[in-house]
Structure 1
Amino acid sequence: MSFLSNINKTLKPNNSYNEIIVLDLFAGCGGLSLGFEAAGFKTIGYEMNKAASDTYNKNLSGICYNEKLTVGYKYPQADIIIGGPPCQPFSVRGIQKGIKDARDGFPIFIDAVKTVKPRIFMFENVRNLMYSHSWYLELILRNLKNLGYNITFECLNAVNYGVPQNRERLIVVGHKNNFSFPPKERKVVCVEDAIGDLMYTTPKDSKFLTKSQDEYIAKYEKASCCKIPRDLHPDRPARTLTCRNLAGATSDMHRVRLKDGRRRRLLHKEAARLQSFPDWFEFCGNETEKFNQIGNAVPPLLSYKIALAIKESYYNLCTQKISHSYSEQLTFLGGM
């Protein structure tokens, strides 16, 4: 099955397990929720950006509330909590104010776990949280462990899970049973697999790099000792897609080199596919808002495979509880 057929078929909301409620905090446009809905869960999202919450509500089965979360927020009862607290305080591309950054969402996430008491939770963030801000990660994990959870975490690269993009993210799962991350996959999906039908086209809304931009990029690549131009290469996975290199006209922007030598900025559909969004998924907002939603998202295909692993852990825990309860009943009856 081709990459495009796979994501269009696999990544569709599936209500077969909709009795299990998943809260998605800092939900963005719903990349994480889409993976969980495709795995059969029911989602409820919370997102402060209006265009992103509109996108979520347009495409997913669950509802997304356009609200800014705070410590003490009253959530409905749920079985699982997921989310991506804003990564800007910890990103190598940012100022890295960390805990001092007003956008730090970890106190909110920890408070939600403490209040709702889900059976399992999961959050994702930039890999730099494991390095430059490792002391803060240790503090976060200590607080979550103190709430009675076992913690399993790993830095996953989306390219190892069928996504045509090198994208490393820290994934942390809190559970009360055993949990294992999905195994890496052998097949690497490349740019051509995802956008081969689009990357050499020039639709009416195409935007081309100017001569001065080409010259600026050439200076940037020379200064950074870049041996291979940072255009998209059809026989390789893409570089990490971010808000900055999608929405901004920067030296690092993602672009396609056409066969006539011109370079074109990515189309929204191309960027979305490289993030593993299916073609039926529609983004709301203006051009910049759409690119920002795509750049901020968790690749839905990666989310789907993590969701399947979480589902296995969830049902193993339920089975153990039922088995334990049954054993207690037998012990009680034997003592009568």
Structure 2
Amino acid sequence: MISYIVYNYFSYSGAASQAKKLASSLGRHNIIFFNVITNSKFKFSKIHVKDDRLNFSVINIRGGGIIRLLQFIYFFLRYKVKLVHLHGFHRDALISAYLLKKKILLKSTLDGKDDFDTLLNGKSKFINRFLLSKITFNNSLTTQIHNKNIQHSLTVPIDKIPNGIHCPTSNELMEEKQRIIIIVGAVIPRKNTLLGIQFFKDVFLSRGYKLFIIGPLNTQNSEGDEFYSRECMESINNCEHISFLGNLTTEQLNVIYKISRFIIFLSKSEGMPNVLLEAISFNITPIVRDDDLLSKSLLPKDTNEFDISFYYENIESAEINALKLIESQTLILHSKTYNIKVIANKYNEVYLKYFDL
């Protein structure tokens, strides 16, 4: 049995969403999810539940400290887990796996949070070094994370496997693009939603575009900021060209992707921006921060045509370039690199080589 350890399986979580996509594409029936519910107290009800839509078994892990640790130990034994696949640095699960001598795959998901450089320079650096030395394989999600992880003298195999997306079919790409711009993601300070709204007002509002803001308004995690959410909502009041659509299903989001021309993506930090990959697969031109090296590394070529400053200074040229880019389908072709089927094959190779699974 392979266990996938994630935060907030049933709510808004990019890492959990990516783990579900991967598990659905591997062609395996031996995966069980452990859902770590943050800021929750332990209770005996609804521990083992079923995700009927994806047909996965999910173990809800509540509480903290020794309670959480004991739950991992018990369920790893009960379900005869052989591989613990951590989607992020879950210390309690990692300790439990080590104590039970389980093989461990750690996916480093967020630069500045769970890369080795950050983990080995924080307040728990000594225990983190010990735990990291016990993992079997590390997937450093991005070039930035990979470059940090390989600097440390840990005898751990390290590779870089990106996130994957479900690429749309040719029929799904037939709809005509409209003068629609999107911002996708939780309305939180890290995502820079407010800056995106202001940019739209400054550059695109007078040119007949509409802005759709898609994502949860009040996230139930440490990044939630009620004041910031209120500030964002106040900024769109009385503006008929801006609509807040809230959290959409994948199917609903795809409908919007099909007709959108631009995506404003100004996040301050990301593991790997899944929405950006999804957007380019639907032939949507991205607009990113000038200094966002991660997002730029995922785009087809090294150019300033996606920079927010380029749009501020050359909106007419930027629009023409975007239309040419859409017509060329360069973004669509480039996005196939991140097809979840390709990524799943890479993981299956890792499972076989390092874990004999």
Q: TM-score range by the shorter chain?
A: 0.3 to 0.5
Using the size of structure 2 for normalisation, the TM-score is 0.42
Using the size of structure 1 for normalisation, the TM-score is 0.44
Q: Which has the higher contact order (CA 8 A, sep 6+)?
A: 1
